[in-house]
């Protein structure tokens, strides 16, 4: 009986399958078509629309303005420049306050408390100079710019302006095999690459989304701007005549950022034509109506979803990294610290790329955040060059108040103009920070694409630094 | 030691390092890609290809000879003879009169391979953006390595498709296929109306030319003139000319004269800002996710569409459909057929 039943149902299924051959190739289309037909018939019968002609006309006027041939791009650049200016100008004061509180007040207080409690020196070092300091540093330099940049960006998004930017930029990205919305994720990346990677969710085509994620790291993020500005001021500005110094170094930093955009387009192009050729692609871009932004909701979501979310991931990675940073400078084997061992060993290799062992080590151990690369470089330079009277001791990251003092430390560490140029290039073209790498893994759910996004920029960066250095030496 | 070397020498080493990397990893032509391909060419692959060829002959009622087997598999006549005797000893084919026929076991083996092949082609067409010239080659490699269970799973994910993207029926899991109803386009007479049901994807050169003409399964053709040298026909209102040798690679199904002849449709990309039209259909060249996405957005036959405004760079263009504004790239708008509304807004 049971068997008979199975047999019957199998026959019915196979008959159904055979009948589908007679229906032809366009079955799916026909089904969708009839669904739409039914839906619109029902809608015609039951829905009446008043329609706000005036509002629609105003919207059309705005659309024609922001997508016009001559004004479209200038308006876009102006808006972006405004957002960046507000971020940089607005973040300075709160960043200074946070640094004064967390680094200059709480840190010494913790140290004296530890001393009073009789904590052994190594425990005090690992916990306070290592873990706490790294975390405090990340919070002080990351929080204010993100807390300004993300809400501003979300406001523009909410207003409906950002989809128009994607609409205007699409033809450029189409030629690179990418989606116009990548212009948005790229701009977001200028704030924070991890946030840029998350923002790639707006791209619904799988291939274009992967491209946007992998190339987001080529946007010079907030954590790297200060490094670029510092090094450009010291080495590039320093090499130019005094009255041109400011302009030349500013030009160099902008040049690096533009180079990053160039790389993001070039790598998108190459990826979409090689490894990502086969990934599915479906372009679609909706242009929602303009609407007044919901300020409070925007503030809340951008602070919670973006700022706190990214900051939390950064802190989680910064704490163990702080411990490692302290340990490499303080664990000694045969009279030398681990850091010195590595730096001696890596120096000859790093010099081929116009960098040095300190930079290599700093980029490895300061992986949680680009913000702590320069403090780590300074600390390691002091340790390896045996400078005295600078900094706060082995394993304690520090920054110097004056640019001149920073320059002295770096020059004592053997830095030249060539090192400066290569550091700027390598700062643009190296692996994403651990927060971003983790975010890429979370977003793509693929180890393969995470590894590609991590190692592709390093290989590219090392290759570029190598050729720049060797050509420089050849012509020098 | 290294750093003391002359920069010219290190540069040379660097450049040769880059070249070596490129030679190893270059897609399609690199060493790794070649090695991966080379490993696939086994005896089993040849055997399965031969079975597929026999099945195709049988399905189309063509007699199958030694020479044609050797030719289609790109092997010498000697190897073909050895291959056939191996197939016979395995009980997969038998000699009937003077041509080879598949045994039942051979037929079901061939159907399994064909099922995997066509499911994979369907997958490439719908779920990836591999170009249509590459489907067949990719599926030819994959068919020998994808298990039937994996193919069944893939088919289930895609909603159990019954046709491959060339218009060929996919054998059911039980090994059934509909009867062959088509005839070559070259066999039609003047004035015949037919629908393309299949475009043969081999040989590649001929397939490339047919694809270049923009022909695809599901298209209506109307034969205008047919001579020994050429066949002239209208496909969706567009005039095409093919040599009969080429036209033989297109299989059609004759339609009764009552079916309306499809007029040449205008393309959405020809609509200027402010103009409106009714959507007539989507070209079959727009497929898979892209097609579903457009239809989900309301690009379905019968819908009203208005071109609103161009982007600052000219492409894409914003269109208004179903009360929302969506941006469509020119390459997509070229695949959407419209009929202009008489009344202009």
Q: How many domains does chain A have?
A: 1
CA–CA min distance A44, chain B (Å): 12
In this complex, do A285 and B18 lie within 8 Å of one another by their Cβ atoms? Answer: no
Give the span between the Cα atoms of B283 and B271, in whole angstroms. 17
pLDDT reported for residue A2: 59
Q: Which of A28, A277, A284 minimises the CB distance to B293?
A: A284
Average pLDDT (B148-156) is: 88
Report pLDDT for B249: 85
d(Cα B260, Cα B280) in Å, to the nearest integer? 14
**Contact (CB<8Å) A282/B127:** no
Q: Could you read off the pLDDT of A325-343 as tens digits, one per residue?
A: 999 988 888 888 899 999 9
- pLDDT confidence of A20, banded at 50, 70, 90? confident
At A459 the pLDDT is: 93
CA of A66: which chain B residue's CA is closest?
Answer: B312
Output the pLDDT for position B345. 43
Residue B257 has pLDDT above 70, yes or no: no
Burial class (CB in 10 A: 0-12, 13-18, 19+), B180: middle
Predicted confidence at residue B1, as pLDDT, reads: 43
* pLDDT at residue A307 tops 90: no
In angstroms, the CA B296 to CA A204 distance is 13
Q: Calculate the alpha carbon distances from A474 to A265, A284, A468, B11, B16 in Å.
A: 30, 50, 10, 9, 17
The CATH architecture assigned to B183-255 reads: Roll (2.30)
Reading the block at residue A104, the tokens are 């200059």
The per-residue pLDDT for range A57-116, each reduced to its tens digit, is 888 888 888 888 889 899 988 988 898 888 888 888 898 899 899 988 999 999 899 889
Residue A469 lies in a domain: yes
Mean pLDDT, residues B293-308: 88
Q: Stretch B298-326: mean pLDDT, rounded? A: 89
Nearest by CB: B315 against A18, A171, A282:
A171
Tokens 């339609």 correspond to what residue? B255
Q: In the sheet where B276-282 sits, what is the strand order?
A: A285-286, B324-328, B317-321, B304-310, B276-282, B336-340, B266-267
Domains in chain B: boundaries: 22-180, 183-255, 266-340
**pLDDT confidence bin for A442, thresholds 50/70/90:** very high
Task: Specify the residue for token string 């980029």.
Answer: A363
Query: What pLDDT is recorded for position A3?
Result: 66
Nearest to A474 among B7, B130, B294 (CB): B7
CB-hemisphere CA count at 13 Å for B247?
Answer: 24
Answer whether A282 sits within 8 Å of B303, measured CB to CB: no
pLDDT band at A267 (very low <50, low <70, confident <90, very high): very high
Query: Among B312, B313, B315, B326, which would you mutate to test the A interface (most chain A Cβ atoms within 10 Å of its Cβ)?
Result: B312
| pLDDT digit string, tens, across residues B105-131 | 888 888 999 999 999 998 988 888 777
User: Per the CB < 8 Å rule, is B128 touching A349?
Assistant: no
Closest CA of chain B from A360, distance in Å: 16
The predicted pLDDT at position A440 comes to 95
Nearest to B158 by CA among B131, B124, B132, B135: B124
Q: How many CA atoms lie within 13 A of B291 on its CB side?
A: 21
**Closest alpha carbon within chain B to A20:** B162
In sequence order, the 6+-apart residues with CB closer than 8 A to the CB of B90 are none
- Hey, what are B136's tokens? 């067949």
- Copy the structure tokens of residue A341: 């061992």
- Write down the mean pLDDT value for chain B: 82
For the segment B207-222, what is each residue's pLDDT rounded down to a tens digit?
888 888 888 877 878 8
What is the overall mean pLDDT for chain A? 88
Secondary element (H or E) of residue B331: helix B330-333
Contact across the interface for A25 and B314, Cβ inside 8 Å: no
Residues of A with Cβ-Cβ distance to B14 under 8 angstroms:
463, 466-467, 470
pLDDT at A408 over 50: yes
- The shortest CB-CB distance from A207 to any of B18, B129, B324 is to B129
Higher pLDDT, A324 or B248: A324
Per-residue pLDDT, A358: 94
* DSSP designation for B315: -
Put simply, the answer to whether A467 touches B14 (Cβ < 8 Å) is yes
Would the CB atoms of A170 and B129 count as touching at under 8 Å?
A: no
CATH number attached to the domain at B22-180:
1.10.10.10
Nearest to A343 by CA among A414, A391, A261, A292: A414
Q: DSSP for B144-185?
A: TTS-HHHHHHHHHHTT--SB-TTSPBPPPTT---PPP--EEG
Residue to mutate among A13, A16, A29, with most B CBs inside 10 A, is: A29
Distance from CA of B322 to the nearest CA of A (A): 10
CA distance B1 to chain A (A): 8
> CB–CB of A470 and B27 under 8 A?
no
Mind spelling out the 3-state secondary structure of A7-70?
A: HHHHHHHHHHHHHHHHHCCCHHHHHHHHHHHHHHHHHHHHCCCCCCHHHHHHHHHHHHHHCCCC
For residue B97, the model assigns a pLDDT of: 72
How far apart are the CA of B221 and the nearest CA of chain A, in angstroms? Answer: 16
Owner of token pair 């061992």: A341
| Shortest CA distance from A288: residue in chain B | B325
Of the candidates B271, B269, B304, B297, the one whose C-alpha atom is nearest the C-alpha of residue B283 is: B269
What is chain A's alpha carbon radius of gyration, rounded to the nearest angstrom? Answer: 27
Closest in B172, B218, B289 to A26, CB measured: B218
Tally of CB atoms within 10 A around A244:
11
Quick one: how far is CA A381 from the chain centroid? 27
- Mutation target to probe the B interface, by most B beta carbons within 10 A, among A170, A470, A473, A474 is A470
Q: What are phi and psi for residue A25, nearest 5 degrees?
A: -80, -15
CA closest to A204 among chain B residues: B293
A184 close to A202: Cβ distance less than 8 angstroms: yes
Per cent of chain B over pLDDT 90 is 7
Closest by CA to B198, choosing from B163, B246, B171, is B163
pLDDT of amino acid A347: 92
Nearest to A14 among B3, B11, B174 (CB): B174
Dump pLDDT digits (tens) for A210-257.
Answer: 999 999 999 998 889 889 999 999 999 888 888 888 889 889 999 999
Percent of chain A with pLDDT over 70: 98
**B-chain residue closest to A33, CA distance:** B300
Q: For residues B164-180, give the mean pLDDT.
A: 80
Best residue in A37, A72, A73, A280 for a mutation probing chain B (most B CBs within 10 Å) = A280
φ and ψ of A275, to 5 deg: -65, -30
Domains B183-255 and B266-340 in one fold: yes
| Predicted local distance difference test score (pLDDT) of residue B159 | 80
How far, in Å, CA of A432 to CA of B284, rounded?
Answer: 42
Spatial neighbors of A255 by CB under 8 A, at least 6 apart, are none
What percentage of chain A exceeds 90 in pLDDT? Answer: 36
Count other C-beta atoms under 10 Å from residue B82's C-beta.
Answer: 12
B318/A68 CB distance under 8 A? no
- pLDDT above 60 for B262: no
- Partners of A278 on chain B (C-beta within 8 Å) are 124, 128-130
CA–CA gap between residue B79 and residue B82 (Å, rounded): 5
Task: Check whether B150 has a pLDDT greater than 70.
Answer: yes
- Maximum average pLDDT range among A101-110, A259-268, B166-175, B336-345: A259-268
Q: Which residue has the higher pLDDT, A295 or B1?
A: A295
- pLDDT of residue B166 exceeding 90: no
**Which of B313, B318, B328, B330 to probe by mutation at the A interface, max A CB count within 10 Å?**
B313
Is the per-residue pLDDT at A421 higher than 90? yes
Integer Cα distance of B54 and A156 in angstroms = 63
How far off is chain A from B301, nearest CA to CA, in Å? 7
Residue B339, SS3?
Answer: strand
Check residue B40 and give its pLDDT.
Answer: 58
CB-CB: which of B160, B169, B288 is closest to A280?
A: B288
* Beta-carbon contacts below 8 Å between A and B: 156
Residue A25 reports pLDDT greater than 70: no
Instruction: Give ipTM to 2 decimals.
Output: 0.80
Q: How confident is the model at residue A376 (pLDDT cuts 50, 70, 90)?
A: very high
Give the gap in angstroms from C-alpha B345 to the nearest C-alpha of chain A: 14
In chain B, the residue whose alpha carbon lies closest to the alpha carbon of A285 is B327
pLDDT of residue B39: 64
Disruptive mutation site among B29, B118, B129, B133 for chain A (greatest number of A CBs within 10 Å) = B129
CB contact under 8 A, A279 and B129: yes
Residues of B in contact with A67 (CB under 8 A): 309-312, 318
The residue-averaged pLDDT of A4-24 equals 77
Q: Are B218 and A24 in contact (CB under 8 A)?
A: yes
Range of the domain at A381: 315-475
Rounded to a whole number of angstroms, the distance from the CA of B42 to the nearest CA of chain A is 26
* Residue A345 lies inside a defined structural domain of this protein: yes
Q: What HEC string does chain A produce?
A: CHHHHHHHHHHHHHHHHHHHHHHCCCHHHHHHHHHHHHHHHHHHHHCCCCCCHHHHHHHHHHHHHHCCCCCHHHHHHHHHHHHHHHHHHHHHHHHHHHHHHHHHHHHHHHHHHHHHHCCCHHHHHHHHHHHHHHHHHHHHHHHHHHHHHHHHHHHHHHHCHHHHHHHHHHHHHHHCCCCCCHHHHHHHHHHCHHHHHHHHHHCCCHHHHHHHHHHHHHCCCCCCHHHHHHHHHHHHHHHCCHHHHHHHHHHHHHHHHHHHHHHHHHHHHHHHHCCCCCCCCCCCEECCCCCCCCHHHHHHHHHHHHHHHHHHHHHHHHHHHHHHHHHHHHCEECCEEHHHHHHHHHHHHHHHCCCCHHHHHHHHHCCCCHHHHHHHHHHHHHHHHCCCCCCCCCCCCCCCCCHHHHHHHHHHCCCCHHHHHHHHHHHHCCCCCHHHHHHHHHHHCCHHHHHHHHHHHHHHHHHHHHHHHHHHHHHC
Is B297 in Cβ contact with A284 (below 8 Å)? yes
pLDDT at B85: 87
B185/B2 Cα distance (integer angstroms) = 69
A interface mutation test: which of B170, B172, B182, B327 has the most A CBs within 10 A?
B327
Give me the CATH code for the B266-340 domain, please. Answer: 2.30.30.90
Give the pLDDT score at A80.
85
Beta carbons of A64 and B167 less than 8 Å apart? no
Length of chain B: 345
């Amino acid at each position: 009986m049971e068997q008979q039943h199975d047999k019957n149902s199998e026959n019915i299924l196979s008959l159904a399958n055979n009948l589908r051959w007679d229906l032809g190739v366009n079955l799916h289309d026909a089904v969708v078509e009839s669904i739409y037909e039914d839906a619109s018939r029902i809608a015609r019968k039951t829905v009446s629309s008043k329609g706000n002609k005036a509002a629609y006309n105003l919207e059309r006027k705005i659309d024609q303005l922001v997508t016009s041939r001559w004004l479209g791009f200038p308006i876009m650049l102006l808006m972006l420049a405004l957002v960046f200016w507000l971020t940089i100008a607005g973040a300075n004061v709160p960043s200074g306050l946070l640094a004064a509180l967390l680094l200059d007040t709480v840190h010494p207080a913790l140290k004296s408390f530890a001393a009073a409690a009789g904590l052994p020196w190594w425990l005090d070092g690992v916990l306070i100079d290592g873990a706490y300091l790294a975390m405090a540093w990340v919070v002080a330099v990351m929080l204010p710019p993100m807390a300004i940049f993300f809400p501003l960006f979300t406001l523009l998004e909410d207003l409906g302006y950002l989809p128009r930017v994607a609409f205007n930029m699409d033809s450029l990205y189409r030629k690179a095999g990418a989606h116009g919305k990548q212009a948005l994720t790229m701009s977001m990346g200028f704030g924070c690459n991890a946030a840029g990677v998350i923002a790639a969710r707006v791209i619904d085509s799988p291939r274009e989304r992967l491209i946007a994620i992998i190339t987001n790291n080529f946007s010079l993020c907030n954590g790297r701007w200060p490094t670029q500005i510092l090094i450009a001021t010291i080495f590039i500005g320093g090499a130019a005549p005094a009255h041109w110094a400011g302009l030349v170094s500013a030009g160099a930093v902008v040049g690096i950022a533009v180079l990053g955009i160039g790389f993001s387009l070039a790598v998108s192009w190459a990826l979409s034509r090689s490894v990502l050729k086969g990934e599915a692609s479906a372009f679609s871009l909706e242009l929602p109506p303009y609407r007044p932004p919901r300020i409070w909701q925007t503030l809340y979501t951008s602070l919670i979803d973006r700022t706190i979310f990214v900051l939390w991931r950064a802190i989680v990675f910064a704490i163990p990294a702080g411990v490692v940073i302290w340990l490499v400078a303080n664990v000694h084997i045969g009279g030398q610290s681990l850091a010195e061992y590595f730096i001696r060993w890596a120096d000859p290799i790093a010099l081929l790329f116009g960098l040095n062992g300190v930079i290599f080590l700093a980029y490895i151990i300061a992986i949680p955040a680009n913000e702590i690369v320069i403090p780590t470089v300074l600390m390691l330079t002091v340790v390896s060059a045996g400078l005295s009277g600078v900094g706060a001791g082995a394993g304690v990251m520090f920054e110097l108040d004056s640019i001149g003092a920073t320059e002295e430390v770096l020059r004592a560490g053997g830095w030249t103009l060539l090192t400066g140029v290569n550091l700027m290039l390598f700062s643009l073209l190296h692996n994403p920070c651990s927060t971003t790498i983790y975010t890429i893994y979370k977003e793509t759910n693929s180890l393969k694409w995470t590894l590609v996004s991590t190692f592709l920029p390093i290989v590219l960066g090392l290759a570029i630094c190598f050729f720049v250095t060797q050509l420089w030496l050849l012509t020098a | 030691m290294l750093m003391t070397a002359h920069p010219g020498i290190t540069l040379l080493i660097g450049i040769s390092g880059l070249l070596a990397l490129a030679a190893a990893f270059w897609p399609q032509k690199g060493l790794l890609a070649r090695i991966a391909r080379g490993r696939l060419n086994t005896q089993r692959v040849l055997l399965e290809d031969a079975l597929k060829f026999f099945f195709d002959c049988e399905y189309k009622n063509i007699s199958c000879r030694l020479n044609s087997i050797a030719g289609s598999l790109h092997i010498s006549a000697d190897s073909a003879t050895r291959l056939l005797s191996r197939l016979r000893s395995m009980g997969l084919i038998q000699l009937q009169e003077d041509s080879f026929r598949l045994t039942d076991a051979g037929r079901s083996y061939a159907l399994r391979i064909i099922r995997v092949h066509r499911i994979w082609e369907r997958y490439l067409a719908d779920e990836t953006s591999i170009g249509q010239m590459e489907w067949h080659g990719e599926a030819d490699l994959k068919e020998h390595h994808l298990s039937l269970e994996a193919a069944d799973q893939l088919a289930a994910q895609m909603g159990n498709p019954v046709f491959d993207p060339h218009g060929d029926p996919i054998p059911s899991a039980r090994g059934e296929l509909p009867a062959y109803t088509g005839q070559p386009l070259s066999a039609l007479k003047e004035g015949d109306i037919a629908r393309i049901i299949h475009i043969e994807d081999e040989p590649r050169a001929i397939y490339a030319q047919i694809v270049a003409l923009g022909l695809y399964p599901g298209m209506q053709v109307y034969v205008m003139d047919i001579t020994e040298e050429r066949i002239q026909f209208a496909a969706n209102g567009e005039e095409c000319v093919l040599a009969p040798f080429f036209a033989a690679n297109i299989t059609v199904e004759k339609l009764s004269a009552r079916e309306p002849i499809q007029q040449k449709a205008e393309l959405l990309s020809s609509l200027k800002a402010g103009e409106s039209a009714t959507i007539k259909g989507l070209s079959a060249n727009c497929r898979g996710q892209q097609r579903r996405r457009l239809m989900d957005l309301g690009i379905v036959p019968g819908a009203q569409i208005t071109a609103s405004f161009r982007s600052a760079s000219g492409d894409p263009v914003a269109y208004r459909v179903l009360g929302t504004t969506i941006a469509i790239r020119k390459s997509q708008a070229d695949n959407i057929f419209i009929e202009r509304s008489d009344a202009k807004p």
